[in-house]
Amino acid sequence: MPDSRFKILTSASTSGPGDAGRTGSWRVERPIIDLSRCTPAKTGKSSCHLCWLYCPDNVVSKTIEPTIDLEYCKGCGICAEECPVKAIEMVSEEEFVKGTEDE
Amino acid sequence: MSEKLIDSGNNAAAMAVQLAAAEVIAAYPITPQTPLTEKLSEVIAAGKMDAEYVAVESEHSALAVCIGAASAGVRAFTATSSNGLLYMSEQLHWAAGSRLPLVMCVVNRGIGAPWSVWNDHQDAMSQRDTGWIQIFAKDHQEIVDMTLKAFRLAELVHIPVMVNYDGYYLSHTYMPFELPEAKAVQEFLPPYDYTHTLDPEKPESLNTVTLPDSRNDIKGIKRPGYMDIRHNLHQEMRQAMELWEEIDADYAQRFGRGGTPILDPYRCEDADFVVVAMGSIANQFHVVVDRLREEEGLKVGVLALQIYRPFPTAKIAAALQNAKGVMVYEKGLSYGNQGALYADLKSALYPYANRPHLHNFIVGLGGRDIPTEDLFQTLKTACLSGDQNAPEQADTPQWIGLQL
């Protein structure tokens, strides 16, 4: 047991959205979920959720229709890689912004 | 009952680690440390020690295993020498920055290139600024006592401790020493109770990118920034000195040995001239001091530095400020400058009005023999020369025993 006179400062944190700052600004690719393929959205059951499990920033919700908090999603693409039914596509932010401008 | 034994320094260290009940030992063999880890693997294989011996492919991995074990709340130990210590260097910083209570024996040896297996202190000195506490033993008894005290210190301050002892001079020679009784050691060093361990139920990210500024985490708890963590390591390493003295006092009460955990003086009370040295050479100086007093009438003493980091700035300055001359003999140097211990000592003495004149000697690198006669002659000359040398000349280290 450490002596009470010592504070022993270390770097430890609980992971969660925003733990590393507003990381959404780092993103060059945006994950887009195709709900017609997504297992919980399709079945209406709380199942799969591998995107939620693997997200290193905890920005995917564990809901029937999973949502991604783009304020903190840094676009790493792990969710798209892990999705067993390939329901998540990584789209270039540049393309995405152009697409919305055209509309 | 404590036991009186005659054995090697490496075996003395192994017995102390066994008594300390380390639970994980991960080490890679390197001369002159090898017999220490061989002995530990032997007692574990024979079922005489309840610990996990993790055979690793390198020193970097050895310390990484210990870091993992300590993070999970387990008492861990490793040992190395020379280039093995250098190979660990990145993990040394990691262990200190993570504030893990590890203990490591460093059996001091010269570093390559060129290869040397013989003794000096360059390995330990090269890792001086890694955030580890560094202590130096002078004999086998101190190897035993310091190793046991090191575990207690590490676990109270959560800073890793390096117990240094000289390769061959101590590691392979046989000396008498007393081994404390296991039950008494258990009382002195209770099982490791680490309150902050890795726990799958409470997942955490440890030592991820830590921002320059402190910040509130997602729970609103204020988390330190990088600089705050480093400042705290420095402050608490300085504070550890006081705790080291307390631990020594407790140890002395239980086992009857101690009282000089920081500086160990020999005939210093009335000394005009004081030798400062670390490790076994400090003991070699006892006969030199005796002879200089008897044959030359010079009032000389020797002050062994037992703890190098944290550096006992105020204590060493207080012990030396009234001396006429101080001679630092060391087995390592900062290339292109001076002996590291000499520079530290000079810095400690600077604020005082009465400063002794200082001499710096580099000795015994890569196991170059250190004849006691050479110590006698150089010390005598230094005592008689006073401070007649020009400052820059006095400040230039003198190498003893050069052959070319």
In Å, how far is A100's CA from the nearest CA of chain B? Answer: 32
**Which residue of B196, B217, B239 is in closest CB contact with A19?**
B217
Residues in CB range of B267: below 8 A, 6 or more apart = B289, B290, B293, B300, B301, B302
Residues in CB range of B185: below 8 A, 6 or more apart = B19, B20, B148
B229–A6 C-beta distance less than 8 A: no
Please state, in angstroms and as integers, the Cα–Cα distance from residue B335 to each residue in B122, B348, B397, following that order.
Answer: 11, 21, 11
Amino acid identity at B337: N
Alpha carbons B327 and B389: distance in angstroms, whole number: 14
B206–A11 C-beta distance less than 8 A: yes
A5–B218 C-beta distance less than 8 A: no
Q: What is the pLDDT of residue B307?
A: 98
Q: What is the pLDDT of residue A95?
A: 86
By three-state DSSP, how is residue B201 classified?
Answer: coil
Q: What is the mean pLDDT of residues A33-48?
A: 96
Q: What is the mean pLDDT of residues A37-43?
A: 96
B217–A14 C-beta distance less than 8 A: yes
Alpha carbons A39 and B218: distance in angstroms, whole number: 30
Q: What is the pLDDT of residue B387?
A: 65
Q: What is the pLDDT of residue A1?
A: 79
Show residues of chain A in contact with B205, CB under 8 Å. 12-15, 19
User: With a cut of 50, which residues of chain B have pLDDT below it?
Assistant: none
The conformation of residue B198, written as its DSSP 8-state character, comes to -
The mean predicted confidence, pLDDT, of chain A is 91
For A24-95, the fitting CATH number among 3.60.10.10, 3.30.70.20, 3.40.50.1000, 3.40.50.2300 is 3.30.70.20
A6–B205 C-beta distance less than 8 A: no
Q: What is the pLDDT of residue A102?
A: 64
DSSP per position, B224-247: --HHHHHHHHHHHHHHHHHHHHHH
pLDDT over 80 at A8, yes or no: yes
Q: What is the pLDDT of residue B197?
A: 76
Alpha carbons B16 and B11: distance in angstroms, whole number: 9
Show residues of chain A in contact with B218, CB under 8 Å. 13-14, 16-19
**Which residue of A1, A15, A17 is in closest CB contact with B193?**
A1
* Interface probe with A: pick from B208, B216, B235, B244, most Cβ of A within 10 Å: B208
The conformation of residue B46, written as its DSSP 8-state character, comes to T
Ranges assigned E (strand) in B14-146: 24-27, 52-55, 76-80, 103-108, 133-136
pTM score, whole prediction? 0.90
Residues in CB range of B6: below 8 A, 6 or more apart = B174, B175, B176, B177
Domain boundaries along the sequence of chain A: 24-95
A6–B217 C-beta distance less than 8 A: no
B229, B93 contact by CB (below 8 A)? no
In Å, how far is B158's CA from the nearest CA of chain A? Answer: 7
pLDDT over 60 at A103, yes or no: no
Chain A residue closest in CA terms to B95:
A10
> Please, what are the domains in chain B?
3-194+246-250 (3.40.50.970), 263-399 (3.40.50.920)
